[in-house]
Structure 1
Amino acid sequence: MGTPQERWCVVTGGRGFAARHLVDMLIRYEIYSVRIADLGPDINLEPHEEKGNLGQALRLGRAQYVSMDLRDISQVNKACEGAEVVFHMAAPDSSINNYKLHYSVNVQGTKNVIDACTTHNVKRLIYTSSPSVVFDGVHGIYNGEESLPYPSKHNDSYSETKAEGEALVIKANGVNGLLTCCIRPSSIFGPGDKLLVPSLVAAARAGKSKFIIGDGTNMYDFTYVENVAHAHVCAERALASDGSAAKRAAGEAYFITNMEPIKFWEFMSLILVGLGYERPRIKIPASVMMPIARVVERIYTILAPYGMKVPQLTPSRIRLLTCTRTFNSAKANDRLGYLPIVPLQEGLKRTIESYSDLRAELLPRKEGPSKAAVYLGNGLVADILLWREKRLTFTAMLAFIVFYASFVSHGSTMITAISKVLIWASIFLFVHGKLPNHLMGYTFEKIPDSKFQCSEEMTRRAALSVASVWNCAVDDLKSISSGKDWMLFFKIALSLFIVSWIGSMSLSNFFVKVLPFNFIVFYIYDKYEDEVDRILQTVFPIKRFSDPDFLRLLNPFKPVDKHD
């Protein structure tokens, strides 16, 4: 059969997460020399790779790197020339819901790989697909089998185009002697992952890891990355076998899991607790999060060209977090001989150990309040609008809803609404004052007079605040009168326009439009401060938006300490 150096396999997307583990496994097994194909112009090895199997194989000529864009057929042909096997693992980031990108890579790119395989007489093609090809984002899947059809509508463009690519690979089976099959690994995790664990840690640092979206009972199949690599090797060996075994394995798709279903949020908890973070406990219904996710996704579609990063909170992701998705790997066991080689708990242990640098006690934390918190006074208002105290935020929202339903929705003016509130408050205080201290076993604490009085210190601070705002406004007017500070003029004009727009609203419109906007926009800025600042710097490049002038853009009449 020749020496290993004479038999080549290709791994497309070979510098990806799961692909790196497959490359390492192929090098260790010494069945093939490995051609690593990826987008980068050169291969940049990490220190452990340089010293490990990959670095040695590259030095000995048992591995080589090829720069390749799947969308360029000439580059794909060059990568596949002389190969016996192609492991097609390349795919764009699934979190980016960009249909044009996904189609060009997952469909057109896969077609280019198939054409190259048939042109250069490649014998076997193993395609890395996804269980999401049978997921519609609405109905959960329990112990799903490969007989499940593609849905009429997928959860996102990534899943839709992966299904199209998978169908092309299955259809290509037998063309010019090419044998194909598709691997559907479910929720890959393990060392080297740059998405799952880092995202969890980022959420923990932001105080969001305490929340469970949905009821927390949805089951999932997570697959340790080494088992995924092993499944690809099993598929290749099955297709390379003689007789009926290869025919049974070819032209099929296979679900690959650890065969140990677990509650989704329990799995997340095990990783977080293992790294020293808080276990998620507070449940938020998906119906509450979905409208927020749609707003965030809409904002991203508008601001993405200005540098906004892909948000983690999207409708498709919420559906993934709240639905059951478990799959049956019996077919893979029967036709490919696949069984997990690393149990789930051992995989979790290895994963947690590999991220020791992200442990809670070692992770540096951002010092000082965010600019959104500073602008809001870093007090009670900030706690409510930035969702820091969730019960307080929901209480405030409920109070606004009750106020709206009781005093505003019937077309009341501001004066009428305030008058009604004062009437009801007076009635409450009068009745409360008439109640005895003890009644039917209940104690009624009287409101002390001090609650209705302003202390001398409070009065002094209020007066100083008014004076400070006045002096700041005078300084700004002086700057405008000089006719030189165009940016300050723009900020003040914009702010006055916003004030006039809000002032022209009816009280009903104010409650329906302005208040909900505040609960969303400040929260988004608090979580994506750097991205928003970068966008503002692009739009207004005169000064950095990390200095106090950024606060003046939000509110030109708010006094700002220039020494902060």
Structure 2
Amino acid sequence: MATEEKWCVVTGGRGFAARHLVEMLIRSGKWSVRIADLGPSIKLEPNEEQGILGEALRSGSAQYVSADLRDKAHVIKACQGAEVVFHMAAPDSSVNNHQLHHSVNVVGTKNVIDACIECKVKRLIYTSSPSVVFDGVHGIFNGDESIPYPPKHNDSYSATKAEGEALVIKSNGTNGLLTCCIRPSSIFGPGDKLLVPSLVAAARAGKSKFIIGDGNNMYDFTYVENVVHAHICAEQALANEGVVAERASGQAYFVTNMEPIKFWEFMSLILEGLGYERPRIKIPASVMMPMAYIVEQTYKMFASYGMRVPQLTPSRVRLLSCSRTFNCSKAKDRLGYTPIVPLQEGLKRTIESYAHLRADCWPRRDGPSKAFIYLGSGKVAHTLLWKDKKQSLTAVLVLIAFYHYFIASGYTIITAVSKLLMMASLFLFVHGVLPSKILGYTIEKIPASNFHFPEEAAHRSALVVGSTWNSAVDALISLCKGKDWKLFIKVVFSLLMLSFLGATSLQRVFVIGVPFAFIAFCVYEKKEEEIDGLIHETVSFFWKLKSKITKKFLASK
């Protein structure tokens, strides 16, 4: 270690961009780095353990401090003896929780500023966001730092980040503290646990086919190393004495790769690079917004019961459909910032780092599908799953004819069955009367054995009926004990379905049921894993909900 240690602090040091900043600071050899984050201790990934971070922690040139920014005493402890603080901590922007965002982005930032002043920290670099000037309605084209904060922000995250940014800028010069704010636009790169994993999850679930909006909205993306480089440039500019530090301090700076690109083209390049299809189907944002509001309200109702944060929210729909490009001239002029990794190179590195998420690494199903097995693995399965297209088409035509002659007329089930039997009897009688040859054509007679029900089959049928009866009796006994909730729910659901079908006309059952059978099983076969996963999550959610309601009910007694 150097004889004269220079310590810097990185808040939120285990976050995506912050990890890259920590490694760059260690690699520079100029700093001893204190990593401040919420976790009680630092948990290194295998590559970190063997890399520069693990070595720095073992040597003492890096330290980990557990700190909650909402607790001022924690922040003061983290900042003691530091010359510079890189304030990068922030909650997940996708969670639209105003109380959470305000407590971290505003109260937490105020605590960081106060700690810097009390601990005589010389420089504070705050990681802000371009969203501080975005209202969610109007697009931004080549926007610069003269754009004011909007009267109403797109979400709580943006509003509270703007408040935090204003506090940092206002504190510039207090007791010798120099500050500035970096506004990196749409960070991407290796180690990101949000953008690429979410894209891949959507692609595997068949949801990546859609473009929200017209697909022409332009965006500025920033490779993570360029974001880190901008923070280093800001620190160096503030460290300069005289005019350079004076011009750089007390300011906010947009930071991008300086290569605007269509938002959906960028997403397509990542998806294609990982072996998935690019999105092609365009859905107007006006169509998506009502759905997003419903999803958001549902989350607000059930968040306390364990519901996951939804991907579809109104603020996200606006982000995905509006243009947002920014001018970096001010950062270039006052901080000396220029991107060190071009956009295409950043994309290449990002795609290579997610090789484990490639389409060809996705495990595929072996053997017959569950749908094929559920349908008996025979003629019915081949017909409904369109394995034998000629057979399936024949079945469809027969069903259409049956519907036209027997169902559409409004017959009851008994009338339709009797009419069908009458036509079958007429056909068999005429067939029996016909001679063995007509005009040289041989008429094959239907052997009587075709109508014979084998004794073995009758025995099997009787066993099935008996077994079904015994199972029903066992279920009834279990219900009488009042302990098996799952069985009770299954019985109630089955009886409700039966009562629904009984009250529904034969025509409606046929019109809905037949197309559903030919479509639903095909869809399930193709999307088996996704549907099974969704069903499992839904069942788990309701069981958790039941458990929590039961606990609250018992606690209230």
Alignment partners' CA distance in 1, 2:370 and 2:132: 42
Q: Which residue of 2 aligns with 1:141?
A: 140
1:78-134 deviation digits (Å, cap 9, x = unpaired): 000010000000011111111111111111111110110010110100000000111
Task: Please give the residue correspondences for 1:99-178 in structure 2 after superposition, counting only pairs within 5 Å.
Answer: 99-178=98-177
Alignment partners' CA distance in 2, 1:315 and 1:352: 29
SS across alignment from 1:153: coil
1:59 Cα offset (Å): 2.1
SS across alignment from 1:326: strand
Equivalent AA in structure 2 for residue 342 of structure 1:
V
Structure 1 residues 171 and 530: CA distance shift in structure 2, 3 A: farther
Alignment partners' CA distance in 2, 1:297 and 1:7: 46
Q: Which residue of 2 aligns with 1:532?
A: 538
Alignment partners' CA distance in 2, 1:35 and 1:372: 55
Q: Which residue of 1 aligns with 2:552?
A: none
Alignment partners' CA distance in 2, 1:310 and 1:351: 25
Task: Please give the residue correspondences for 1:203-222 in structure 2 after superposition, counting only pairs within 5 Å.
Answer: 203-222=202-221
1:260-298 deviation digits (Å, cap 9, x = unpaired): 000000001111111111111111121222222222222
Alpha-carbon contact 1:212-1:281 (below 8 Å) kept = yes
SS across alignment from 1:255: strand
Structure 1 residues 108 and 375: CA distance shift in structure 2, 3 A: farther
Alignment partners' CA distance in 2, 1:357 and 1:190: 15
Structure 1 residues 217 and 338: CA distance shift in structure 2, 3 A: same
Equivalent AA in structure 1 for residue 225 of structure 2:
E
Q: Which residue of 1 aligns with 2:481?
A: 484
Task: Please give the residue correspondences for 1:234-313 in structure 2 after superposition, counting only pairs within 5 Å.
Answer: 234-313=233-312
Equivalent AA in structure 1 for residue 208 of structure 2:
S
User: Are 2:65 and 1:71 aligned?
Assistant: no
Alignment partners' CA distance in 1, 2:350 and 2:466: 57
Task: Please give the residue correspondences for 1:430-441 in structure 2 after superposition, counting only pairs within 5 Å.
Answer: none
SS across alignment from 1:342: coil
1:229-254 deviation digits (Å, cap 9, x = unpaired): 00000001111101011111111110
Equivalent AA in structure 2 for residue 25 of structure 1:
M
Equivalent AA in structure 2 for residue 14 of structure 1:
G
Q: Which residue of 2 aligns with 1:459?
A: none
SS across alignment from 1:254: strand
1:531 Cα offset (Å): 3.1
Alignment partners' CA distance in 1, 2:10 and 2:101: 19
The percent of aligned pairs where both chains have the same amino acid is: 70
SS across alignment from 1:268: helix
1:532 Cα offset (Å): 1.9
Alignment partners' CA distance in 2, 1:286 and 1:368: 41
Equivalent AA in structure 1 for residue 234 of structure 2:
A
Alignment partners' CA distance in 1, 2:130 and 2:27: 28
Alpha-carbon contact 1:373-1:526 (below 8 Å) kept = no
SS across alignment from 2:282: strand
Equivalent AA in structure 2 for residue 148 of structure 1:
I
Task: Please give the residue correspondences for 1:276-355 in structure 2 after superposition, counting only pairs within 5 Å.
Answer: 276-355=275-354
Structure 1 residues 504 and 255: CA distance shift in structure 2, 3 A: farther
Alignment partners' CA distance in 1, 2:22 and 2:70: 22
Alignment partners' CA distance in 2, 1:102 and 1:126: 19
Equivalent AA in structure 1 for residue 172 of structure 2:
N
SS across alignment from 2:360: coil
Structure 1 residues 183 and 234: CA distance shift in structure 2, 3 A: same
Alpha-carbon contact 1:86-1:122 (below 8 Å) kept = yes
Q: Which moved further from structure 2: 181-190 or 488-497?
A: 488-497
Equivalent AA in structure 2 for residue 244 of structure 1:
V
Q: Which residue of 1 aligns with 2:6?
A: 7
Alignment partners' CA distance in 1, 2:295 and 2:33: 42
Structure 1 residues 255 and 366: CA distance shift in structure 2, 3 A: farther
Equivalent AA in structure 2 for residue 533 of structure 1:
V
1:397-422 deviation digits (Å, cap 9, x = unpaired): xxxxxxxxxxxxxxxxxxxxx89xxx
1:55 Cα offset (Å): 1.8
Equivalent AA in structure 2 for residue 484 of structure 1:
K
Which ranges in structure 1 are unaligned for 5 or more consecutive residues? Answer: 384-417, 420-455, 457-467, 506-518, 543-564
User: Are 2:186 and 1:187 aligned?
Assistant: yes
Task: Please give the residue correspondences for 1:412-491 in structure 2 after superposition, counting only pairs within 5 Å.
Answer: 479-480=475-476, 483-485=480-482, 487=485, 488-491=487-490
Structure 1 residues 130 and 472: CA distance shift in structure 2, 3 A: farther
Equivalent AA in structure 2 for residue 238 of structure 1:
A
1:537 Cα offset (Å): 2.4
Structure 1 residues 4 and 318: CA distance shift in structure 2, 3 A: farther
SS across alignment from 1:86: strand
SS across alignment from 1:6: coil
Structure 1 residues 105 and 479: CA distance shift in structure 2, 3 A: same
Q: Which residue of 2 aligns with 1:18?
A: 17
Structure 1 residues 226 and 469: CA distance shift in structure 2, 3 A: farther
Structure 1 residues 211 and 125: CA distance shift in structure 2, 3 A: same
Alpha-carbon contact 1:137-1:320 (below 8 Å) kept = yes
Alpha-carbon contact 1:36-1:65 (below 8 Å) kept = yes
1:305 Cα offset (Å): 2.0
Which ranges in structure 2 are unaligned for 5 or more consecutive residues? Answer: 386-409, 412-449, 451-463, 505-519, 549-557
Structure 1 residues 157 and 501: CA distance shift in structure 2, 3 A: farther
Alpha-carbon contact 1:205-1:365 (below 8 Å) kept = no
Q: Which residue of 2 aligns with 1:510?
A: none
Structure 1 residues 100 and 309: CA distance shift in structure 2, 3 A: same
Structure 1 residues 244 and 498: CA distance shift in structure 2, 3 A: farther
Alignment partners' CA distance in 1, 2:225 and 2:30: 18
Alignment partners' CA distance in 1, 2:65 and 2:295: 38
1:371 Cα offset (Å): 10
1:366 Cα offset (Å): 6.8
Structure 1 residues 198 and 469: CA distance shift in structure 2, 3 A: farther
Structure 1 residues 368 and 168: CA distance shift in structure 2, 3 A: farther
Alignment partners' CA distance in 1, 2:253 and 2:208: 33
TM-score w.r.t. the length of structure 1 is 0.72
Alignment partners' CA distance in 1, 2:68 and 2:368: 44
1:200 Cα offset (Å): 0.8
1:72 Cα offset (Å): 1.2
SS across alignment from 1:283: strand
Alignment partners' CA distance in 2, 1:308 and 1:373: 32
Alpha-carbon contact 1:126-1:182 (below 8 Å) kept = yes
Q: Which residue of 1 aligns with 2:222?
A: 223
Q: Which residue of 1 aligns with 2:356?
A: 357
Structure 1 residues 472 and 220: CA distance shift in structure 2, 3 A: farther
Alignment partners' CA distance in 2, 1:527 and 1:62: 45
1:479 Cα offset (Å): 3.0
Structure 1 residues 144 and 48: CA distance shift in structure 2, 3 A: same
1:498 Cα offset (Å): 8.8
In the comparison of the two structures, how many residue pairs are matched?
450
Structure 1 residues 499 and 374: CA distance shift in structure 2, 3 A: farther
Equivalent AA in structure 2 for residue 479 of structure 1:
A
SS across alignment from 2:159: helix
Alignment partners' CA distance in 2, 1:501 and 1:211: 36
Instruction: Flag the structure with larger Rg.
Output: 2
Structure 1 residues 177 and 292: CA distance shift in structure 2, 3 A: same
Alignment partners' CA distance in 2, 1:469 and 1:149: 77
Alpha-carbon contact 1:155-1:316 (below 8 Å) kept = yes
